[in-house]
Structure 1
Amino acid sequence: MKIVRLSQVPKWKDKNPTAAEFLSALRSESYLKEFMVSLVNNYAKGKMWDGTIDLNTDDIRSALLMTNTTADTEGNVQLMNAYTTLDECDATGYARVALVAEAVNIDTVNNRAEFDANDLSFTGLGGNATRAIQGVLLYKHITNDTDSLPIVFIDFTSDIPTTATQIDVPFDAQGILQAA
């Protein structure tokens, strides 16, 4: 399974990188985190293979996570409530966002399958999160966190400031997740 790629720097309303900051990020080692998923959950890989997770039809949602999360390092967690520290965004107005227009497509030219959806937008944030936002977790929503299955964690290269009032996560034109 290939790593998830983001097509561009995640944007937030209160701060957009300058051209110089963007080029600096491209030259740094941390650039890779900006454009790729940091962690594909090991159990999610198996559950995609056995059909427990159907990326075409399941309710796939996203959660913004702050800098104390362990979702960026715990690849063997089976359920959302099993993370040592989820550290979900606590800004006023924050709510998890469901993915829209999910689809798995076959790319015969590149010999792979690609999972894609519309870009994410977390709007109406109060600009008062306790800590900076580190990344976004995609998961299969079932009933609540005791039943929901983590799929991938996308770590932003630069943490998004606590004062952000909108966070947009654009996905790569070639899909969120690729399997070859």
Structure 2
Amino acid sequence: MTAIEPYPTIREYRRGNIDVETATLRVALFNDSTAYSPDQVNHEYVSDVLDGGTTAQEIQDATYSRQTVSNASVTVDAAGGEVEFDADDVTFSGLDGGETIQGWIVFQQVGGDDTTPADDRIIAIEDEATNSNGNLVTLNGSDVTIQFSSEGIINVA
């Protein structure tokens, strides 16, 4: 499944205000403690989603930290009639604590660190992050790799 992107993000792409190939992009994981459902209209910034559990709760395990996206690229798929944004898969090492991952957010980090989530624009949200068996992943001390779709993280037709 390809992730969804908020409508305000699409607007900013078209205005030329986001360049995913040069921006600092990060990935955050959220757990299933709150039944999160994406809102493409109102979930524009990280703080709109990761708000301490009202909308969604970020993974709380002490070994967890947000990861940086590498090798972001945008390509034209002429045969498919779309533009694809993709990047290398992202690995979170040794996550423990028994939480269950519901999903992930790729966001544009603004200001050089993650301390200002109100200006970190969401690029993509996946709210059903499952393993190869179709199950949500429960943290057990193993590495967790977010494998982005072979069709890209985002596809724009």
Tell me if TM exceeds 0.5: yes
Q: CA deviation at 1:140?
A: 0.9
Within 2, Cα distance between the matches of 1:70 and 1:46?
A: 27
1:149 and 2:121 aligned: yes
Within 1, Cα distance between the matches of 2:72 and 2:18?
A: 13
Partner of 2:26: 61
Q: TM-score, with normalisation over the residues of structure 2?
A: 0.80
Within 1, Cα distance between the matches of 2:137 and 2:154?
A: 23
**TM-aligned CA distance change 1:113 to 1:147, over 3 Å:** same
Structure with the largest fraction of helix:
1
Q: Give the number of the structure whose alpha-carbon radius of gyration is greater.
A: 1
**TM-aligned CA distance change 1:73 to 1:106, over 3 Å:** closer
The answer as to whether partners of 2:124 and 2:153 remain within 8 angstroms in 1 is no
**TM-aligned CA distance change 1:101 to 1:177, over 3 Å:** same
The AA in structure 1 aligned to 2:56 is: L
The AA in structure 2 aligned to 1:156 is: A
Within 2, Cα distance between the matches of 1:115 and 1:164?
A: 30
- Gapped runs of 5+ residues in structure 2? none
Q: Share of identical aligned residues, percent?
A: 24
The answer as to whether partners of 1:71 and 1:153 remain within 8 angstroms in 2 is no
Q: CA deviation at 1:71?
A: 5.3
Partner of 2:92: 122
Within 2, Cα distance between the matches of 1:69 and 1:149?
A: 21
Within 2, Cα distance between the matches of 1:137 and 1:82?
A: 12
Deviation by residue 1:75-113 (Cα, 9 ceiling, x = unmatched): 222321123433111112111111100010112222221
1:135 and 2:103 aligned: yes
1:10-49 alignment, distance < 5 Å: 35-37=1-3, 39-49=4-14
- Gapped runs of 5+ residues in structure 1? 1-34
Q: TM-score, with normalisation over the residues of structure 1?
A: 0.71
Q: CA deviation at 1:70?
A: 6.3
1:73-92 alignment, distance < 5 Å: 73-75=38-40, 76-83=42-49, 84-92=54-62
Instruction: Tell me the matched-pair count.
Output: 143
Superposition CA RMSD, Å = 1.9
